[in-house]
Structures are given as C-alpha cells and as structure tokens.
C-alpha cells in the first residue's frame, strides 16, 4: 500500500533491469564512512585471516601483491540508494586468500583499520563472489574509498564491502558488525531491498 | 504535511504530522518515498531537523510532528517535488527513524558540531534536543555556508545563542561574507577549528555533516590536531539528485 503522489513525475533515470528496487544511478562515486578517513602507510599494512581457533594467517603488502591478481567489473549498490554500474577493479580473490585456510565456521566478521566491522557469511565471500581490491578504475584505490585496499562484495549492499580492510575473522555463528548494530540488515541483499533490520 | 516554512529561497522545512511516529534520536534520518500515478517511485534519505520531546515534556506519547528541511538539489526529482509541489494537507510516505550511529544521546561530554551547507540539519536537531532537556553540556557549532543568505535557521540560532551561554555558533562563509566580517570568505581550516572548536583534551563528541570534501577536510584537521578518531562521527552527502 503506497501513497500516490499525484504531481510527482520523476526523472525515470532508474527504470532499467540492472538496478535493484529503490536505487538510482550515479556516475560519480559518493563517499560514505562513519568517521575520519584512516591513512595507512603501505609498509605497515597487513591482512590477516583468523580462524575460529585463533590461528592467524597474514600477508604484508608485498606478499599480498605477489598473489595472483584478478581484474573484475561489477555493479555496486549503496544502501543510501545510489548504484554505480560497470565499475572496474583489480585485486585478490577471497578464494585465493582462503586456499590454505582450514575452517568449519560458516560466518565471518570483516575488520578494517579504524575499527570498522561488518558481518558476511563465508559462502558470500567465496566461489568468485568477493575480492580484496587495491585498484579502482586503473588507479590505486583512494583512501576516501577505502585504500590501500578494501573488500568488494558486489552482490550485497556496499557497506558490506569494508573499506581499509585488514582482516577476516571466522565465526561459528552470525554476529552483527558496526552498521548492523546500528539498525541495518544482517545480510543486506539489494535485490530483496534488505536495508534495515526486519526487511 | 501539516505546514511548511521557507528557511532560505531553496530550502523548505516540511512539518509532517505522523500519527504513529515512535519518536527519534537527534541525528537520525527518514527515507521518503514518492510514487507517481504509473507506479514509478523514487526514494531519498533526509535528516530530521526537529528534536523529539522526551517523556514528561509532552507526555511522551506516540505520534506527533516531525520536521524535515529539504535543500533543493539541482535536477533533484525528489527534493524539487518536496520543495515546490507538495502542498499542505497532502501525504507522503516515510520510513524511519533510521540510524543509530550519527546520533546524540544526551551524554555528558562537550559537543562539537561541524556543519557544511544543509549538513547543519541533523546538528540542529541535536541543538534543539539539548535545549529541550536543558542540557548542561557545552555545545559549539561551526557552520560553513556559502553566503549569509544561505544560512538555515538563522533567527533561531541567533536567539538560542543569546539565551543560552552553553551554546556557541561560529560561521565560516565560503563565497561571500557579511559586511564587516573579520575573515575573508574561505573554506574551513586549521585556525578556525583550533579557535572555535574544543581542545582535544576536552574529549568532545564530534559530529560532522556535509558534502564529502567538507567532511574529509574537517575530520582530517581534527585528527591532526589530536582528536581521537573514534570520537568523530561523520555523515557525508554527495549532493546526489
């Protein structure tokens, strides 16, 4: 049951099949962060996977860049209603990072510099669904957009694609991260418009 | 919409009578959805400008007025409808309140508010809420705005500063300053935040809202001045239509 706004015509810029419900297209790249932008020197950067037993596997910047790299082109959808189609990235597939990780846990908490966290089920990170990206549109990823490296999980709302990512922690059960604690959806599927708790 | 008033020639406050409104925290927003007769719809988020009366002051019951201040955005399909077409008595669809991070919860720390343009709207909700609860926390607002004509809530801010020794407001004009203003028009900078903000030792709660370049600049300066990044909450908007 929605209210019809008689005098509302709209610009119809969003009537295309590759746009999830309630989203509109943008050509620029808006920034959304909960706090100041952290600046992380590359010689102090690292990425760590921690399994449910506490065992850690880490890569420094050089080791991370020595891993097989992938170029990928994806659509991204922000919960604040903008979508950007056909964005091009370069980075390391999560599958590559998990090649030698033994874990029975189904859930993860993704961590970023600055203290950001977001929860993503493991199955949404593997099988070619997610990357740790360091290059956007052919340029090193700008700090405002999460550089040196951010997670990219394009099939979920973009707050799941943690900026300044520095680790993935395996969890036996699902737990809320930063925005999820603040009322946003635990899963965040844009095609089912799972913006907030209860959607 | 129960009533409306123009804050500037391009920003209108909509006073919405929401029968089942559950109340909100200052800083939260709502999603507005407009639907055309053929089913096309568009949604945008708007910060709430009004404070919510705590229980006791107006009974604390559910339902009541919620105010949004909508800055018209160039080519903006939703903002131009809300500012120019929506009439008193007509309904709009709201979802909310939303957001549990960029909110002021009446905590004891001093507060530093940094607003750029219409980013002042959620900060105004905090100032009004502090007024309603007669908060003793000292508040400082630094408000960056293009010209004196673009200031939202100008009269109310003047009145509140006059009546309330715990509230300071400092304007930064980026394009055109009033006659006799001591500073040249320009963007927010280190001396401004050093002079008109709080020292890091006071450990203020900081709220920054505005366009991305404003928020990035202000947050970077505060971190460089020694403020704890964890005490700095930001809300950025891209001026998207």
Instruction: Give residue B60's pLDDT band: very low, low, confident or very high (50, 70, 90).
Output: very low
Provide the domain limits for residue B204: 111-237
Instruction: Give residue B238's pLDDT band: very low, low, confident or very high (50, 70, 90).
Output: low
| B41 and B78 housed in the same domain | yes
The minimal CB distance from B232 to the residues A2, A9, A35 is found for A35
Would B121 be classed as within a structural domain? yes
Domain count, chain A: 1
B233: which chain A residues are within 8 Å (Cβ-Cβ)? 34-35
What does the pLDDT read at residue B237? 77
Computed over every residue of chain A, the mean pLDDT equals 94
Would B105 be classed as within a structural domain? no
Please enumerate residues of B whose Cβ is less than 8 A from a Cβ of A: 33-37, 40-45, 75, 77, 81, 85-86, 90-93, 95, 98-102, 212, 216, 219-220, 222-223, 229-230, 232-234, 236-238, 240-241
| Shortest alpha-carbon distance between residue B159 and chain A (Å) | 31
| B16 and B119 housed in the same domain | no
Provide the domain limits for residue A146: 47-192
| B118 and B233 housed in the same domain | yes
Rounded to the nearest 5 degrees, what angle is found at the Cα of B81, between the Cα atoms of B75 and B82? 115
The minimal CB distance from A11 to the residues B33, B77, B102 is found for B77
Beta pairing, strands A82-93 & A24-25: parallel
Please count the other Cβ atoms lying within 10 Å of the Cβ belonging to residue A166.
21
Would A70 be classed as within a structural domain? yes
What does the pLDDT read at residue A11? 73
A190: which chain B residues are within 8 Å (Cβ-Cβ)? none
CATH of the domain at A52: 3.90.420.10
Does pLDDT of B59 surpass 90? no
Substitution target from A24, A33, A36, A193 for chain B, most B beta carbons within 10 A: A36
| B200 and B222 housed in the same domain | yes
Instruction: Give residue B56's pLDDT band: very low, low, confident or very high (50, 70, 90).
Output: very low
B190, B196, B201, B206 alpha-carbon torsion, rounded to 10°: -90
CATH of the domain at B18: 2.40.30.10
Does pLDDT of B171 surpass 60? yes
CB contact under 8 A, A34 and B90: no
CB contact under 8 A, A26 and B240: yes
| Shortest alpha-carbon distance between residue B206 and chain A (Å) | 10
> Which of B140, B151, B158 has its CA nearest to residue B195?
B140
Instruction: Give residue B63's pLDDT band: very low, low, confident or very high (50, 70, 90).
Output: low
CB contact under 8 A, A33 and B234: yes
B34: which chain A residues are within 8 Å (Cβ-Cβ)? 5, 8, 10
Q: What beta strand segments (E) does B36-189 contain?
A: 41-47, 64-71, 93-98, 111-116, 139-145, 167-173
pLDDT in tens, A70-87: 999 999 999 989 999 999
Mean pLDDT confidence for B213-226: 95
Domain count, chain B: 2
Would B122 be classed as within a structural domain? yes
Give contacts of A 39-78 with B, CB under 8 A: none
pLDDT in tens, B109-128: 999 999 999 999 999 999 99
CATH of the domain at B165: 3.40.50.80
Q: What ipTM is given for this predicted complex?
A: 0.84
B104 vs B129: CA distance, rounded Å: 9
pLDDT in tens, B8-22: 999 999 999 998 899
Would A18 be classed as within a structural domain? no
CB contact under 8 A, B36 and A5: yes
What does the pLDDT read at residue B55? 44
């Amino acid at each position: 049951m929605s209210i019809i706004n008689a005098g509302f015509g709209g610009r119809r810029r969003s009537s295309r099949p590759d746009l999830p419900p309630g989203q509109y297209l943008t050509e620029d790249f808006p920034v959304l962060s909960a706090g100041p932008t952290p600046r992380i020197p590359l010689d102090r950067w690292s990425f760590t996977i921690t399994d449910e037993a506490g065992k850690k596997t880490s890569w420094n910047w050089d080791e991370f860049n020595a891993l097989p790299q992938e170029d990928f082109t994806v659509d991204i959808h922000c919960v604040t209603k903008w979508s950007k189609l056909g964005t091009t990235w370069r980075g390391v597939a999560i599958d590559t990072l998990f090649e030698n990780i033994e874990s029975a846990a189904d859930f993860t908490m993704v961590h970023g510099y600055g203290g950001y966290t977001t929860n993503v089920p493991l199955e949404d990170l593997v099988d070619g669904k997610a990357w740790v990206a360091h290059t956007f549109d052919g340029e090193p990823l700008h700090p405002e957009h999460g550089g040196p490296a951010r997670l990219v999980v394009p099939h979920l709302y973009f707050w799941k694609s943690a900026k300044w990512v520095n680790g993935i922690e395996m969890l036996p059960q699902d737990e809320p991260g930063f925005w999820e604690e603040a009322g946003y959806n635990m899963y965040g599927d844009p095609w089912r418009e799972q913006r907030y708790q209860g959607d | 919409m129960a009533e409306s008033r123009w804050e500037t020639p391009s920003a209108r406050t909509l006073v919405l009578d929401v029968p089942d409104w559950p109340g909100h925290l200052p800083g939260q927003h709502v999603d507005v959805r407009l639907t055309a007769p053929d089913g096309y719809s568009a949604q945008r988020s708007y910060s709430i400008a009004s404070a919510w009366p705590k229980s006791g002051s107006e009974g604390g019951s559910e339902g009541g007025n919620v105010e949004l201040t909508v800055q018209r955005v160039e080519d903006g399909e939703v903002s131009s409808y809300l500012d120019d077409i929506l009439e008193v008595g007509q309904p709009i669809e709201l979802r909310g309140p939303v957001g549990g991070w960029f909110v002021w919860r009446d905590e004891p720390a001093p507060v530093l508010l940094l607003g750029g343009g219409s980013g002042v709207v959620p900060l105004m909700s905090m100032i009004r809420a502090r007024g309603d609860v007669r908060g003793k926390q000292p508040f400082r607002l630094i408000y960056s705005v293009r010209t004196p004509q673009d200031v939202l809530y100008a009269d109310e801010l003047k009145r509140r500063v006059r009546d309330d020794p715990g509230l300071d407001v400092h304007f930064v004009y980026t394009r055109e300053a009033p006659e006799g203003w001591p500073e040249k028009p320009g963007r927010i900078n280190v001396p401004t935040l050093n002079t008109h903000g709080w020292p890091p030792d006071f450990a203020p709660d900081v709220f920054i809202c505005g366009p991305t370049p404003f928020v990035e600049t202000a947050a970077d300066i505060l971190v460089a001045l020694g403020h704890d990044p964890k005490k700095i909450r930001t809300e950025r908007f891209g001026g998207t239509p």
